[in-house]
Amino acid sequence: MAEKKHNALVQAVMDFKNNHPDLYEFIMFNLLSNIATITNFVVLWLSTLLLFKNLVKPFDWWIFHYGINQGGLGGFFAFLLAYVCAQIVNYFVQKNLVFGASFGMDRLFWYIVTVVVAGIVSVWMPPYIIAWLNPYVGGLAATIANVANIVAQVVINYPMMKFVIMRK
């Protein structure tokens, strides 16, 4: 009996995939992006607590402004490292599991450009969000800033992956 229910569920998912391929792909993009999201949070928390905890001096360069209350130089490095690690994981997940894409260096170039643009946004935003939220939520401000980063990344990454990088 359980096997019949399992088969019916698999069939229902396959029917949905066949009837709504773009919506299915977007859902899978977001679901499987959680692998990169988990990587992002784990690396952010570990690097903040262990790797960069002593780098507390303010960091102010170009468009990046991380005061002591926003994590300073350590906060900048933690967000940057978390982003890079998540994007490496995300590349393989999206390429192999969501889009099933194979492509040459020309599309890899566009993936790197997309990641750099989204990365600049992701490393630029946190100190502003943290400064704004810190009086209200304290230590959770960095985690909320990371959630905002992830939303920004989906807005930037999905259209580029679907229509430029991973297109068939």
The answer to whether 146 and 40 are in contact (CB under 8 A) is yes
Q: What ranges do the domains of the chain cover? A: 2-165
User: Token digits for 129?
Assistant: 């969000």
Q: What is the mean pLDDT of each run of 10 residues along the chain (168 residues)?
A: 73 92 91 92 94 94 89 93 91 88 79 90 89 92 88 89 84
Separation CA 148–CA 126 (nearest Å): 8
What integer pLDDT is reported at residue 74 of this predicted model?
Answer: 95
What integer pLDDT is reported at residue 101 of this predicted model?
Answer: 82
List of long-range contacts for 109-118, beta carbons under 8 Å, 24+ apart: 110/160, 110/164, 110/165, 111/160, 111/161, 111/165, 114/156, 114/157, 114/160, 114/161, 114/164, 114/165, 115/87, 115/91, 115/157, 117/156, 118/87, 118/152, 118/153, 118/156, 118/157
What integer pLDDT is reported at residue 1 of this predicted model?
Answer: 59
